[in-house]
Structure 1
């Protein structure tokens, strides 16, 4: 039964990752037995493959390595371990305080497939909006999965759509859940920043029990995290009811620039039991996360946004985010005969995301009251100004996936048999937009079709809906659904003793966007016992998500001159995009080429170098917000925009053909030093994305289909160079780690003057910087651990020990001007953030 379990897991994840052996690309300490188990789980169908045999690059990161650096979130841990993985920070971006875009090789979050135990994980219900890395892409919420539940993480850095379907253009991340029994382990950790804020603590517990006498088990994981927010904002020059704007700094810090207050609760399980000669398995979990984020400070003199009878000195609107994630998988696997196995599975996942506005106001309530009661006193206006908090709406996404997978061996009489996997998949998806309460979106308490003159200035109309996150209107609410089915065939054999060849084909059909047939060829040739060449060529695709094809909402965005404006995202095929030549969304298609080598000159040294090229056609983007002036070449578009009631609008389209290419280098070395063991790992990534062409419909200018703002995020929003150098040393009861993380520069138009368009005379230097830059940097982390016994250890860590942050904003930065000097740092395309130095202390225990 033990051998069968390993083979069953091979089937479950082998189908996901294709017929590839797996190379361990990390210097994790592991016994020989643990190494063999890890390789089996990652899917080779050839039992005599070694740890460095692979046709495509795969990283394996153990749970111990993920938690060594003091990180409590999965995304942060992966960013520190896998250079081609990016986890950008985003500040003040329409309530997106709970999720961050997780990307591979500089592509979009939804172009990476995420699996748990080899089964497709559902995507999140929401995505980053305009002006963020990964804008418009609803990827997988990596931070919804507790670290305590993971045994290891495998990252396949190669296109795998032919093996597992849509979303796997950039690669695959597989999360393996723990399956241990008869041991309980856990941790308690606390930390803070060098500035004295951001206090946080977390605790986790994992335990397992045997089920029956045939290797069955159930493993349970619980994790809780609580973190105070951080704030790097400064006193501002925005003025108040008693101090004119621009005349003096505020008495206190009123803006907020930093991490949100947050809380995380989760429970995951992983189980298997024998049913006769078969295995019945199940896994899943639940997590709930909340975060209290912020918008921009509303100045006291902004007539459209402020009701002085309620907020005489202005106010900071806050956005309460709540995300709930639920998943459950069940399946039956077993031997058909000595050579063939089957796996039948069903997976259900749901993500719910809700917004509450707090410390806000709908200025049109007071405006309507004063319009109908022109002699009203300040007290009466305040009493009839409507609520200052309420539900702004939410999003729902659920996915059900059914798989039938068969794998086995065909003996052709050659020296090596053909290893075969084939099967089918059916997937059903549902998406829903939930409207907010009346005050969150309405124009006045009567929900009029027009706004009213503000209570401060009759020449200015009051804004409708809550400030910071206007509620989702009933006409935006609705549901959408679709289904897809797929068939695949996956083959692998050794043509010669030293030459492995793999091939895969997959046909997939989506009810709303069409079908495609894609394929992959992979090969590896062992030139010598210590040197091998490997490579793959494949085609791929990604279907537009329901979140892209069915999303619509009103938001508040920064427009020309730094003014906050009402904005609208139109659904695909609605009047506004149709007027600009976009009637629907279609499949993205890709071509992926990789070529590299593996060098093992000694037992202690391993080097892998892999070059890649990814060409994507009809890439889906969320367009920049367009005003009536931007589309004045089309009277139909101007009319459609006016009908939305918003000042600017955007939409999704297949606007781009792009090429991404780069190189991954990983070097690992093991040595004895001063009576201890030193493991050294260098991992580097060079990556560049170029726009090949813009798919502008006939008669539509290219800068409408894809403007400079979108281009900058696609090509320069993520570091083009990333590297980590890790020294892991252990001796007796001591263990120490030093890691240097290098992040290349990012440079985007958002919040630069090419986006804001401020006249130069407003700057003390006579001009404003055209773009927003986050400089290249090296962050160094240190962690020291002492084992009192085999069951108890303590560790202390310092992350970013040299307190590195981006360069502070100067007087020639538009963001400095529009925040009245409140913000210290850029707030977009931040690969390493601006919290500075952080400290952690942790207790690990087992019993």
Structure 2
């Protein structure tokens, strides 16, 4: 039986071409070296197409490369090795302490499709909220995947919705699981930051076993991580019961840093021969927790604090927990010498829960005092309600069925026509789970009545827990949908120099409509060393259930730096409907790419790829709107007031945009001083422009898309990224030096254009309009030494020169509203603010 289908999957119909310079060199695993020009499962359906023969760029990053920088999170590893990939840091943003937005080519997290072994991976149940990169986009949680389980990662840098369907506008990331047997490998690693905090310990173990004697196997992985938090906050001048405002606090009371976290994950990958077919399965489980925090609540904040419980104020914590389960089952094989079949089913589920700690519902004490005006401080404290509890959660699951057929058909030319076609059916479910009553209630009786604060009778006490008010029962609920798709992919080698491919896909969503998209790709080899490649495609992305069905009450920073109860309205509900938005539609795209592959000599290779992506009807999560913002529309004012929140926002197809850029990769491989040196320069330049705003009749452009949203879409991610890597090995020694360049980001969030503080209260007489994270070069070094055939020692320093963003000054709005507690910006941070870190690692293999 021919087994030339090699993990071909039904959703893979990309007519692409892998340049040898786009392939990150080492393709070795713990079980030994692989062929450099390995056929990628993310690529052409042609089973004999090698990594140097196709038509759009893909990076293949080996597992060895992913771990050489000392990163144990997949997202960090990819950011350090693939400049088109961005993994922004953020803090105090309701959930982003646990997941981080993973983006490709400067687009949104949900505009990149993630696969495992070529099969669609489910998205996360939650998304970043307003004021973050990727706000409103429920992408794939990259950090839920253990690096230990991976053989390599393939990054397709081209629009691929015609092959894969919804989400593949920016590209596709495929995670290939290990399939090695008779080898047990793993690592132990420990590290910390240069400040002495953030201690992190992790371990991974991978092993495999043969099943039978005909190539069957099972590969198993487990990974554990335990990380202490970091804190870059400073002493503040917010005052306390014993210290007047303006006086520096005795200790650091705010929190600005990475959350304390824990991670456990197990994955498997297996195949069993069944007669002339292969039965395969893979999947895994992961659980992660992260203890994030909100803003510090000052002792005298009447609406938020109960001084009988927290005499000097308090820092509320948000205990995040994410759980992922996935399983795939399939049957594949050769029908005959020319036809192959692949049938599969994949189920994935993500749960995300919030517990609030060190918090309070100020309305409980306020109601008690209203009913017992002579109550003592001890009695008020005893009746102030719980200081911790469950604030609610989100659930998302996805079941996908695929049928895939591929064949070679003789048509009278020197090369046959390669044909692939198939179908996909998908079911999705989304649920919002309410928190416990104390997390959202207005007083113990949970009535519609507001109660005067225990601090100031002229101020109403806020309802619900501080930092993350609980999800109310009227916001809970569930939604579901299904979709089906058909595709056709054709590829032909017209002659020895010219390859041509095309693909078409029709997909229909029960809640969002249907679309027919296509792609034409080609490559022409002028010589053995020089080729041009390119593609033209149309694409689409269906609004996710997380976008169309989401609703929640949160706390957000409003005008004047005041934390305000906020509400996100469901698509089609009264508030957005009053503003002309009755639901969400498909995003559509047009993409053009053109590139060249040039092997200058045996040592130097260059690829350069340009791209132009136009997206219409992009879905955005709007900024919070107050009754004053929508005063021109009384129906909208009434709908907002009916929510009980001070401000509200909603999703809409608000933007038409164009993203264009260049990807450059130069590799140099040579022998040096009895060793081997590999030098790689990889860079990306991209720019996103807003072409037009889809404002309904009578709705101002500033309401449909305000400047805050614009800033995150166009300037929230670096427009320039590059890595320069020197990888040298000699005998048992190895060393890597990598310089990472991050371009500047500049967003309105936490700048005075967002906060709107009076300039006269600034110590300098004015506040900066925006929040800027300056461009930076971070240098990482890594050394390893092979003790023997079983053990390798490694150690390294990341961010060797301790580069951090410029510290906040007295003219920064964030410095003012945090009472000088925050040292650095907290939004649009591509390289974080922890500074230098170091690690030591022991790798083993038996």
Report the TM-score, using the length of structure 1 for normalisation.
0.98
Separation in 1, partners of 2:364, 2:33: 68
**Deviation sequence 1:251-272 (CA, Å, 0-9, x none):** 0000000000000000000000
**Deviation sequence 1:179-214 (CA, Å, 0-9, x none):** 000010010000000000000100000000000110
Does the 8 Å CA contact 1:656/1:694 hold for their aligned counterparts? Answer: yes
Matched residue SS, 2:34 = helix
Instruction: For residue 451 of structure 1, report the CA deviation from its aligned partner.
Output: 1.8
Matched residue SS, 1:75 = helix
Instruction: For residue 643 of structure 1, report the CA deviation from its aligned partner.
Output: 0.2
In structure 2, the residue matched to 1:16 is 12
In structure 2, the residue matched to 1:602 is 601
In structure 1, the residue matched to 2:289 is 290
Matched residue SS, 1:496 = coil
Separation in 1, partners of 2:282, 2:789: 29
Separation in 2, partners of 1:605, 1:417: 33
Separation in 2, partners of 1:302, 1:237: 14
Count of aligned positions: 842
In structure 2, the residue matched to 1:7 is 5
Could you say if the C-alpha distance between residues 274 and 36 of structure 1 is closer, same or farther in structure 2, counting changes exceeding 3 Å?
farther
1:622-661 mapped onto 2 (5 Å cutoff): 622-661=621-660
1:679-694 mapped onto 2 (5 Å cutoff): 679-694=678-693
1:692-703 mapped onto 2 (5 Å cutoff): 692-703=691-702
**Deviation sequence 1:467-523 (CA, Å, 0-9, x none):** 000000000000000000000000000122200000000000000000000000000
1:708-727 mapped onto 2 (5 Å cutoff): 708-727=707-726
In structure 1, the residue matched to 2:750 is 751
Q: Is 1:28 aligned with 2:28?
A: no
Separation in 2, partners of 1:710, 1:27: 36
Q: Is 1:359 aligned with 2:355?
A: no
Q: Is 1:69 aligned with 2:65?
A: no
Could you say if the C-alpha distance between residues 17 and 828 of structure 1 is closer, same or farther in structure 2, counting changes exceeding 3 Å?
farther
Separation in 2, partners of 1:641, 1:74: 41
Could you say if the C-alpha distance between residues 562 and 56 of structure 1 is closer, same or farther in structure 2, counting changes exceeding 3 Å?
same
In structure 2, the residue matched to 1:497 is 496
The gaps in structure 1 that reach 5 residues or longer are none
Does the 8 Å CA contact 1:27/1:679 hold for their aligned counterparts? Answer: no
Runs of at least 4 residues off by over 2 Å: 19-24, 26-33, 35-38, 40-54
**Deviation sequence 1:704-731 (CA, Å, 0-9, x none):** 0000000000000000000000000000
Matched residue SS, 1:64 = helix
In structure 1, the residue matched to 2:827 is 828
705-714 or 489-498: bigger deviation: 489-498
Separation in 2, partners of 1:36, 1:563: 57
Matched residue SS, 2:635 = helix
Matched residue SS, 1:52 = coil
Instruction: For residue 50 of structure 1, report the CA deviation from its aligned partner.
Output: 4.2
1:563-578 mapped onto 2 (5 Å cutoff): 563-578=562-577
Separation in 1, partners of 2:342, 2:435: 43
Does the 8 Å CA contact 2:14/2:45 hold for their aligned counterparts? Answer: no
Q: Calculate the aligned-residue CA RMSD, in Å.
A: 1.1
1:152-171 mapped onto 2 (5 Å cutoff): 152-171=152-171
In structure 2, the residue matched to 1:55 is 55
Q: Is 1:101 aligned with 2:97?
A: no
In structure 2, the residue matched to 1:133 is 133
Separation in 1, partners of 2:398, 2:59: 28
Q: Is 1:176 aligned with 2:173?
A: no
Instruction: For residue 277 of structure 1, report the CA deviation from its aligned partner.
Output: 0.3
Separation in 1, partners of 2:115, 2:498: 29
Instruction: For residue 19 of structure 1, report the CA deviation from its aligned partner.
Output: 2.6
Separation in 2, partners of 1:387, 1:16: 52
Separation in 2, partners of 1:108, 1:30: 29
1:241-252 mapped onto 2 (5 Å cutoff): 241-246=241-246, 248-252=247-251
In structure 1, the residue matched to 2:486 is 487
Separation in 1, partners of 2:672, 2:734: 13
**Deviation sequence 1:2-50 (CA, Å, 0-9, x none):** x61x5231x227x425132423424423479723673253443445544
Does the 8 Å CA contact 1:181/1:209 hold for their aligned counterparts? Answer: yes
Instruction: For residue 603 of structure 1, report the CA deviation from its aligned partner.
Output: 2.0
In structure 1, the residue matched to 2:208 is 208
Separation in 2, partners of 1:37, 1:96: 38
**Deviation sequence 1:306-326 (CA, Å, 0-9, x none):** 000000100000000000000
Q: Is 1:448 aligned with 2:452?
A: no
In structure 1, the residue matched to 2:728 is 729
Matched residue SS, 1:18 = coil
Instruction: For residue 245 of structure 1, report the CA deviation from its aligned partner.
Output: 1.4
Does the 8 Å CA contact 1:8/1:334 hold for their aligned counterparts? Answer: no
Does the 8 Å CA contact 2:297/2:304 hold for their aligned counterparts? Answer: yes
In structure 2, the residue matched to 1:406 is 405
Matched residue SS, 1:197 = coil
Instruction: For residue 757 of structure 1, report the CA deviation from its aligned partner.
Output: 0.5
